Amino acid sequence: MKLKYFAWVRERIGKPEETIEPPPGVKTIEELIAWLAARGETYAHAFETPRVIRAAIDHAHVKQDAAIAGAREIAFFPPMTGG
């Protein structure tokens, strides 16, 4: 699946997107965040406060208990500040 990062999540990780295959045990957004946070220092920094991280699956907002099975694109970003 493709992952996309925006705003300070993107800056902390150091890239706007990547393609990853999480292990089968990673089934929800919450678990994906925990798995990503363990991938290295930049990821740990980006996901150090999981509750502030917002997620979208295939362009739709989801909560962190959402299942990631079948997702083509998952995005992680801070709370939105447009308008």
Partner 1 sequence: MTANVIIRIQESDFDVAREIASLSAGRNDIGAVVTFTGICRGSEDGADIAALTLEHYPGMAEAEIARHAETAMARWPVTGIRVVHRVGRITPGENIVLVVTASKHRQAAFEAAEFLMDYLKANAPFWKRVDRPDGTCWVEARDHDDAAAARWTKS
| Interface ranges with partner 1 (CB under 8 A) | 4, 6-8, 56, 59-61, 75, 77-83
- Nearer residue to partner 1 within complex by CB, 8 or 38: 8
Alpha-carbon span 57 to 40, nearest angstrom:
23
We find the least distance from the C-beta atom of residue 5 to partner 1, in angstroms, to be: 10
Rounded least distance, CB 81 to partner 1, Å: 4
Quick one: tokens of 53? Answer: 């991280």
CA–CA gap between residue 82 and residue 67 (Å, rounded): 27
- Mapped onto helix, strand or coil, the DSSP state of residue 1 is coil
Which of 9, 33 has the CB closer to partner 1? 9
